[in-house]
Structure 1
Amino acid sequence: MQKYMLERFFQGLSPRHAFQIRYWDGTSEIYGDGEPNVTIIFNEKISIAGFLKEKTLTFGDAYMNGSIEIEGKIEDVISLAISNKEMLWTKSLSFLPKLTSLGKRKENIQHHYDIGNEFYSLWLDETMSYSCAYFKSPKDSLHQAQLQKIDHVLKKLQLKKGERLLDIGSGWGWLILRAAQQYGVKSFGVTISEEQYRKTKERIRSLGLEGQVDVALMDYTELARKGYSYDKIASVGMFEHVGKAHYPIFMKTVHELLGEKGLVLLHTITHQTEVPVDPWIEKNIFPGGYIPSLREIVMLLPDYDFHLLDVESLRLHYAKTLDHWAERFEQQVEKVEQMYDQRFVRMWRLYLQSSAAFFRNGGLNIHQFLFSKGVNNELELTRDFLYS
């Protein structure tokens, strides 16, 4: 019965390229026309009830556990899924977003970011930037592209010496460090990841930037209650963790923290429309996260007197960033397996390589939004200053 149900499912797909399924009983079938470009191997039976209810969750967990193997590129499997997305993912939000406690938000962040600095340092670049890089040329190294991303963000904020810069979700700290070094601003970062906080503190001390740069282990909402105020605010790769129900809180907090005519650079992954979080990602990678649609963000801004100045898509930049990460990760697989286990390795391999496919072909995007608090007539008239 299990094999019959799977055969019926695969027969119903509309593949762009032929694919092969090899079943646990040794039989195999080719679906689609031509030579298959990828083979999915079922080493053992999987829960058909689970598969029919949550296809991506059951498939992803089965791959992690070794019940399913892939011969060929994971990206080709994801491309097959993307071309049949109506059979795999619901089209609209099927839940009411709920507010979560600070404790739960910290737990969700620590699930992903407190795996360990040693782990991330194996495959991130020297800046430890864990967000989309900016490639001026396909030949750029990952490190060069990450520095270019940070510089691109800082240029957009049009920083001036002596200004106060806040980075919400400051990661391992390179943006606040570079802002202080390059622009002479006083920069401050907040994170609720203990590992990121510890590493940033080390970097501040090693560069002798105490007094000009600081970081706090706290939630961004605590800043407003303490009466802090900033001229410019950046948030790179953090908004995806805020949660849909918390969007008004985020925008209200940023409004309270930002001085009049101040600028905000919000760098976040986006969807084309509002869709629920993939259940495998929710369970294994980013619990509590939600990827907004482009229009959700734009529609929020007027309610907080935020004036949109610029929007830029970096979709292909993120696909290329993920390609670099996936390649570097594979070069360190033996060390990662020694640190954790094979299941962990397979989880991260699936996450990194499938993410690249979604940015390249699946409708995931990443945008940088630049907006001001109130009307600001003192900004650059063109984008020329970004590329000078």
Structure 2
Amino acid sequence: MLKKAALKAALKLWNKGGFTVRFWDGEEKNYGKENPNFKIIFHREPEFKDITQIGSNIVLTLGEAYMDGSIDFEGSLDDVIATMFKNQAGDIKKYDLAGLRKKMFSGVEEEEKENIHSHYDLGNDFYRKWLDRTMSYSCAYFKRPTDTLEEAQLHKIDHSLQKLLLRKNETLLDIGCGWGWLIIRAAQLYGVNAVGITLSEEQYDGVTARIKKLGLEDKVKVHLLNYMDLDPKQYKFDKIVSIGMFEHVGKEFLPLYLHKVNTLLKDGGLFLLHSIMGFTEAPTNGWIKKYIFPGGYVPTVRETVSLLPDFNFYLLHMESLRRHYARTLDEWHKNFMNCKDELPEKYNERFKRMWSLYLAGCASAFRTGNIDVVQYLLSKGVNNKLPMTDEYMYED
């Protein structure tokens, strides 16, 4: 009876998934929170030299029992293995998510909004002067040496959407949607129902006007709110994309961000995370932090990837766009220098020199490899329905 009690206690810890156990005395018991999809059958009472092993390592216990012929499995071995790994996966309990959320509510959220306002609400007319027609303020994707900035930005949007394998009438969320060209293009090309969110009032006004002008009110929505305020009970998306937003989250809130995305994404859904990445973990340089991106933090690949298993994200594909961003910034700097004398008087000479240094300096930082920009394609949980190769991402 002692062995059986120990086995029951150990198996009870496998609370993810669902399975049935038939013990050697004929008793059957279901475990897990889902309907059973396989059965463990004990043919006889197993032999254990050390009964404490049962609780400390149930996988070893079952593996040895199978080797000895004491047990067999009924059902798919894939389901058995999936349940085993599901119950050994990263645990979000090690993060104080409630504490982080409380901290964000107690002033940090308002500070984040102010940080966004200080950079992105300089005025649509200001950005329109030196960005391209799509008003894309993130890394472009130069497929050919002859690509214009606008062509490269459209390539970036299309490349990002292509990775997500969008299907008609699927739901897509863009966290930090900027001036909205991605969600608009997603609706136009793929027929998805797209939602964008931003904290920038200028961007919100710009996106809203674009959607109305194109007559896409039924397919594209934009909201002026924090990503944390999206209710998972109201919203569940097939696909999520976030371009140039992760850098604004802040180091201590990265787990909270990934947890929130997990709650908003359907099981098996795809998440495209596009972010500037540091080469090594380090604080944001003082000048950028003070004058350009207050509150920002550039994580590293090592740092980001290490967080993924704890939030049930599987890394499917990773691509560096470092040289693309260097060229993007070169183009922006050239455009800015050509138009800076046309800017209103409120943008004084000191401001112009600041922005010139920011754009040219960042181009150098990408070119010399001090910082990178990376696209991660992730799935929430295992998704075995995707193409076997990545060729689809690069097809014209």
**TM-score bin (small chain):** 0.7 to 0.9
Q: Following the alignment from structure 1 to structure 2, what is the Cα–Cα distance between the partners of residues 139 and 327?
A: 16
Give the corresponding residue for 2:230.
223
Q: Deviations for 1:144-191, whole angstroms, at most 9, x for unmatched residues? A: 000000000000000000100000000000000000000000000000
Q: Following the alignment from structure 1 to structure 2, what is the Cα–Cα distance between the partners of residues 375 and 247?
A: 22
Map 1:90-105; keep pairs closer than 5 Å.
101-105=108-112
> Are the aligned partners of 2:232 and 2:264 in contact in 1 as well (CA < 8 Å)?
no
Give the corresponding residue for 1:206.
213
Structure 1 length-normalised TM: 0.74
Q: Deviations for 1:256-313, whole angstroms, at most 9, x for unmatched residues? A: 0000100000000001110111111111000000000111110110001110000000
Q: Following the alignment from structure 2 to structure 1, what is the Cα–Cα distance between the partners of residues 378 and 232?
A: 23
Say which structure, 1 or 2, has more relative contact order (CA 8 Å, 6+ apart). Answer: 1
Counterpart residue type for residue 387 of structure 1: Y
Give the corresponding residue for 1:22.
none
Q: Choose from 171, 180, 186 the match for 2:178.
A: 171
Q: Choose from 331, 351, 354 the match for 2:361.
A: 354
Counterpart residue type for residue 296 of structure 1: E
Q: Following the alignment from structure 2 to structure 1, what is the Cα–Cα distance between the partners of residues 234 and 214?
A: 28
Relative distance call for 1:231 and 1:225 in structure 2 (3 A) is closer
Q: Following the alignment from structure 1 to structure 2, what is the Cα–Cα distance between the partners of residues 248 and 271?
A: 18
Q: Following the alignment from structure 1 to structure 2, what is the Cα–Cα distance between the partners of residues 228 and 320?
A: 37
Relative distance call for 1:104 and 1:233 in structure 2 (3 A) is same
Q: Which structure has the larger Rg? A: 2
Residue 112, structure 1, aligned to residue 112, structure 2: no
Give the corresponding residue for 1:333.
340
Structure 2: give runs of 5+ residues left out of the alignment.
Answer: 1-99
SS at 1:227's partner residue?
coil
> Are the aligned partners of 1:337 and 1:345 in contact in 2 as well (CA < 8 Å)?
no
> Are the aligned partners of 1:163 and 1:185 in contact in 2 as well (CA < 8 Å)?
yes
SS at 2:231's partner residue?
helix
Counterpart residue type for residue 343 of structure 1: R
Give the corresponding residue for 1:284.
291
Number of residues of Structure 1 aligned to a counterpart in Structure 2: 292
SS at 1:338's partner residue?
coil
- Give % identity: 55
Residue 242, structure 1, aligned to residue 252, structure 2: no
Q: Deviations for 1:195-254, whole angstroms, at most 9, x for unmatched residues? A: 000000000000000010010000001103663110000000011000011111101100
Residue 188, structure 1, aligned to residue 188, structure 2: no
Per-residue deviation at 1:139? 1.4
Residue 133, structure 1, aligned to residue 151, structure 2: no
Per-residue deviation at 1:377? 0.5
Give the corresponding residue for 2:84.
none
> Are the aligned partners of 2:330 and 2:360 in contact in 1 as well (CA < 8 Å)?
yes
> Are the aligned partners of 2:137 and 2:178 in contact in 1 as well (CA < 8 Å)?
yes
Per-residue deviation at 1:127? 0.3
Structure 2 length-normalised TM: 0.72
Per-residue deviation at 1:137? 1.2
Give the corresponding residue for 2:393.
386
